Amino acid sequence: MIDAHTNVRKLLHVDLDAFFAAVEELDHPELAGKPIAVANDHRRGILTTCNYPARAFGLHSAMPVFQAKARCPGLILMPPRFERYKAMSESVFKILRTYSRRIEPVSIDEAYLDVTSHPEDAVLIAESLRSEVLDLTGLSISVGISYNKFFAKLASDWQKPHGIFQITPDDVPDLLAPLPVRKIHGLGRTGAQALERFGITTIGDLYAVERPVLERLLGKQGDAIYRYIRGRDDRPVEVSHERKSIGMERTFSEDLTTRAALAALIPGFSKRLSDALKKRHLVARTFHLKLKTSAFKLITRSHSLPDATSDAERIEALESLMLDAVEIEAPIRLFGVSASNLSDEDVRQLRFF
């Protein structure tokens, strides 16, 4: 089993199914099940994508519109609405972010997630993700699971649409051997053709090619592909905007005037802060208390712990101590708590082992 206590990573690659076409189907339920392609109906237009019923006719992304119409006479063409796709993509990524802070969006419809620190089995995480995305947005995703990015990406394509597939170290090389070289991400059509010219059509064929030969055939990329197909890919999930702090605050319709009224807020706020940290599999070392007086004077206190925590009782004790140290001289209109110095839950666990 792949879990947080080995050095094996748990990575997911999420890819939306027939994305632009799926959004059009969602917004036009009367079209469901019919062959749909998203493209401008120009003489020289090309398909951005098409749904799976259209793919049954051999249609695919980048196919010229005239050719698509010829192959699939009942084809419904929808003009692209990029703003709408962008908004839907953001809704999906927002859900993904609740599963892992370690997320790398790679295009409008795909992202890598590092869920190594989740104690649950990766397949269960993927299933939960897939049903949550469907329930909340109406869109279908496929999820690939593996111990590196290259295999996770390969796996998300394995059982499309709405598929979940895992590639484990034991699957290498037998599972991959029959795959056509066209499936290798990053090779592109020219790379695949270069290989096919030499009779190298499957990954199995590729295993028989020595590294210097592959480098001669594919240039610089040859070395990476030589390693990747053997499961040697330690590229990290690149997190662009790691969250620096997390917190919550409330502005009151009527100012609070007593210390007791403020103290009464601490258990609830501490619990919410603890829940927010736990949901994101985070722990924090520094906690903050923020008050604003009716005259808009800001009062802040913070305290750092020797070790990181997400425990509600510890947070509550700390926030109470900080409140005790504040002199309440004026009515308070805003109360807030927050946590910073965040780290992943697993980092904390490692320290204990």
Catalytic residue ranges: 110
Min dist CB 61 to ligand TTP, Å, is: 4
Pairing of strands 141-146, 164-167: parallel
Min dist CB 107 to Mg ion, Å, is: 8
Strand order in the sheet with 36-38: 49-50, 36-38, 76-78
260 contributes a contact to ligand TTP by CB under 6 A: no
- Our CB check for Mg ion shows the closer of 90 and 324 to be 90
Residues 52-111 that bind ligand TTP (CB under 6 A): 61-62, 108-109
> Which of 35, 32, 34, 38 is CA-nearest to residue 20?
38
Min dist CB 149 to ligand TTP, Å, is: 16
316 binds, among ligand TTP, Mg ion, none (CB under 5 to 8 A by kind): none
Helix, strand or coil for residue 175?
Answer: coil
Name the one range near ligand TTP by CB under 6 A: 15-23, 209-217, 308-316, 319-327. Answer: 15-23
- Our CB check for ligand TTP shows the closer of 161 and 331 to be 161
| C-alpha dist (Å) from residue 66 to 8, 189, 204 | 48, 22, 37
Min dist CB 141 to Mg ion, Å, is: 8
- Our CB check for Mg ion shows the closer of 185 and 243 to be 185
61 binds, among ligand TTP, Mg ion, none (CB under 5 to 8 A by kind): ligand TTP
Min dist CB 204 to ligand TTP, Å, is: 24
Q: Which one among 48, 100, 274, 338 touches ligand TTP, defined by CB under 6 A?
A: 48
Could you say which DSSP state residue 140 is in?
-
Looking at 148-210, list the stretches that DSSP marks H as alpha helix, in order from N- to C-terminal side: 149-156, 188-196, 203-207
Structure tokens at 143: 């999820």
Q: Which one among 4, 11, 12, 20 touches ligand TTP, defined by CB under 6 A?
A: 20
Could you say which DSSP state residue 180 is in?
B
To 10 degrees, the CA torsion angle through 46, 49, 54, 60?
70
Distance, in Å, from the CA atom of 289 to the CA atom of 218, rounded to the nearest integer, reads: 57
DSSP string for 41-70: --TT-B-SEE-HHHHTTT--TT-BHHHHHH
- Our CB check for ligand TTP shows the closer of 67 and 257 to be 67
Min dist CB 194 to Mg ion, Å, is: 26
Residues 129-188 that bind ligand TTP (CB under 6 A): 160-161
Residues in contact with ligand TTP, total (CB under 6 A)?
14
Name the one range near ligand TTP by CB under 6 A: 1-9, 17-25, 94-102, 124-132. Answer: 17-25
Distance, in Å, from the CA atom of 218 to the CA atom of 203, rounded to the nearest integer, reads: 14
**Which positions lie near Mg ion, rule CB under 5 A?**
15-16, 19, 109
- Our CB check for ligand TTP shows the closer of 21 and 115 to be 21
17 contributes a contact to ligand TTP by CB under 6 A: yes
Angle between helical axes of 312-324 and 266-279 (0-180°, round to 10): 140
Distance, in Å, from the CA atom of 300 to the CA atom of 6, rounded to the nearest integer, reads: 41
Contacts with ligand TTP by CB under 6 A lie at 15-20, 48-49, 61-62, 108-109, 160-161
